Amino acid sequence: MKPFTKLTAIAAPLLRINIDTDAIIPSKEMRSVGKHGLSAGMFANWRYSDPSNRVENPEFILNGEPYRRAEILLTGGNFGCGSSREHAVWAMREWGFRAIVAPSFGAIFRGNCVRNGILPVVLTDNVIKSLSVEVEANPHINRITLDLPKQTLISSRGISYSFEIARADKEMLLLGLDPIGITLRSDEDILAFTRADRVKRPWVYL
């Protein structure tokens, strides 16, 4: 997975609250067992006026220029709530998103983001609305920069906003890491835990 350090990209505003993962990737679009081939299904019920025949809805923001090439999404609170389907993140990643900026995220969705190279940025609703206004004024030119090492978002006018991110999540994104490999380095600790636990709670160990 490609490391995420710094990104300057076109941003698209989709300022609805509670966008759930059924909307991001309808169940019907999750056709194959794998993690790929999902980008065409992203936001399918909004993006297409006829999802079965992929007839594009010209009103939907991501179908317009330059938003078709957006890599950053600006959106409303509780983004990614609902079902745990990681396919929502895979679809967005494959389509081209590398970061999502929202006042809050569905917890499972947020965890899926950092495991798949998408940076979830939490900023206030007011900030996001003002960023959206800036972007919409001239989306081709008014791009947003994200600096993960410095945990900063910089608007096209040069205004900086700090954001929080858990150290473990930041590390995963910065290094494009494989979380399993990292944990297996703690195998001594895990073994010590289970040895003691088997005595305390034998009914766990079938």
Partner 1 sequence: MPRTLIDKLWDEHTISDLGDGATLLYIDRIFLHERTGSVSLKGLQEAGRKVLHPEQVFCTMDHIVDTFPGRGDETVMPSGKDFIVTTREAALEAGINLFDIGDERQGIVHVVSAEQGITLPGFTQVCPDSHTCTLGAIGALAWGIGSTEGEHALATKTLVVSKPKVMCVKFEGLLPYGVTSKDMILFLIGKFTAAGGSGYAIEFTGQGIKALPQESRFTLCNMAVEFSAFTGLIPPDDTTFNYLEGRPYAPRNEAWDSALAHWGTLKSDDSAAFDAEISIDCADIVPLISWGTSPGHTVAIDGTVPDPDAAADDDERAAWARAQEYMDLFPGKKMEGLSIDAAFIGSCTNSRLSDLREVARVVKGRHVAEGIKAIVVPGSSQVKNLAEAEGIDAVLIKAGFEWRESGCSMCFFAGGEHFGERERVISSTNRNFENRQGPKTRTHLASPTTVAASALAGKIADVRKLGNDS
Residues that bind partner 1 (CB under 8 A): 15-18, 20, 22-23, 26-28, 30-35, 45, 51, 76-78, 81-86, 89, 104, 106-108, 111-112, 115-116, 125, 166-168, 179-180, 183-184, 186, 189-190, 193-194, 197, 200-206
Q: Under a CB-based contact definition with an 8 Å cutoff, are residues 56 and 40 in contact?
A: no
Considering beta carbons, is residue 129 or 152 the nearer one to partner 1?
129
Nearest approach in angstroms of CB 174 to partner 1 is 14
Considering beta carbons, is residue 10 or 91 the nearer one to partner 1?
91
- 136 Rama sector, left if φ>0, alpha if ψ -120 to 50, beta otherwise: alpha
Reported in sequence order, the residue ranges of the chain that DSSP labels E, i.e. its strands, are 6-9, 11-14, 48-50, 55-56, 72-75, 99-102, 119-122, 144-147, 152-154, 160-162
Considering beta carbons, is residue 66 or 179 the nearer one to partner 1?
179
Nearest approach in angstroms of CB 96 to partner 1 is 20
Residue 120, SS3? strand
Dist. CA 206–CA 72, nearest whole Å: 47
Nearest approach in angstroms of CB 193 to partner 1 is 5
Considering beta carbons, is residue 6 or 197 the nearer one to partner 1?
197
Dist. CA 41–CA 27, nearest whole Å: 10
Considering beta carbons, is residue 10 or 38 the nearer one to partner 1?
38
Dist. CA 146–CA 129, nearest whole Å: 17
Nearest approach in angstroms of CB 105 to partner 1 is 9
Q: Which tokens sit at 158?
A: 């040069």
Nearest approach in angstroms of CB 109 to partner 1 is 8
The helices-and-strands tally (H runs, E runs) of the chain is 8, 10
Considering beta carbons, is residue 8 or 18 the nearer one to partner 1?
18
Nearest approach in angstroms of CB 199 to partner 1 is 11
Nearest to 16 by CA among 81, 108, 84, 89: 81
